[in-house]
Amino acid sequence: MYEKQYLSQNKFDELTKELEHLQKVKRKEIAEKLDFAKSLGDLSENAEYQEARDEQAKTEDRILNIETVLKNSEIVSHKKGKKVSVGSQVIINKKGTQNEQTFYIVDPEEVDMAQGKVSYKSPMGEAMLGKTKGEKFVCQTPTSKTEYIITDIDTLSV
């Protein structure tokens, strides 16, 4: 049994497109590389053949991974909510400051810190889940403990 994945529609579509490309294009390219490498002769010392086999293994692993994620995914599209959940946009302030930070609570597949997308499984994401506007929470990491307050919770717009 695989764990449920919570994806935005955009990420679901992106993974579906990548899967289609890997299955229809990349597999053919690798097959052609393998055929060419085989034509060179002795496979035991054939670097092109070994490289193509490695690429084939990585591609098949990625295909399996994407198929598993898509099969076990649920599309999240939250409306303005009262509690932080997967798909929420959360605006927070660090205790003692007025600097607002915005985070999107996403599945680990969608994490992108440059865009403020944090996993619901990360220390920050876990600390925010289930909290409401105005509620304080503590984010515990291996090296620090920081207190924040939730100033707003909004819709998924990632």
**CATH number of residue 29's parent domain:** 1.10.287.180
Q: The pTM is what?
A: 0.71
- In the 8-state DSSP scheme, what is residue 112? B
Domain count, the chain: 2
Phi then psi for residue 63, to 5 deg, are -60, -45
Distance spanning both ends of the chain, measured CA to CA: 29
How far is the C-alpha of 81 from the C-alpha of 85, rounded, in Å?
Answer: 8
Last residue of a domain, one of 17, 45, 75: 75
Same domain, 95 and 49: no
**CATH number of residue 113's parent domain:** 3.10.50.30
> Is residue 82 in some structural domain?
no
Same domain, 95 and 59: no
Q: Domain span at residue 150? A: 89-154
Same domain, 71 and 93: no
Assign 138 to helix, strand or coil. Answer: strand
Same domain, 106 and 150: yes
- Give the pLDDT of the chain (158 residues) as one tens digit per residue: 677 888 888 889 999 999 999 999 999 999 999 998 888 777 777 788 889 999 999 999 999 999 999 999 888 865 566 889 888 899 999 988 888 999 999 988 889 999 999 999 999 999 999 999 999 999 988 888 999 999 998 855 44
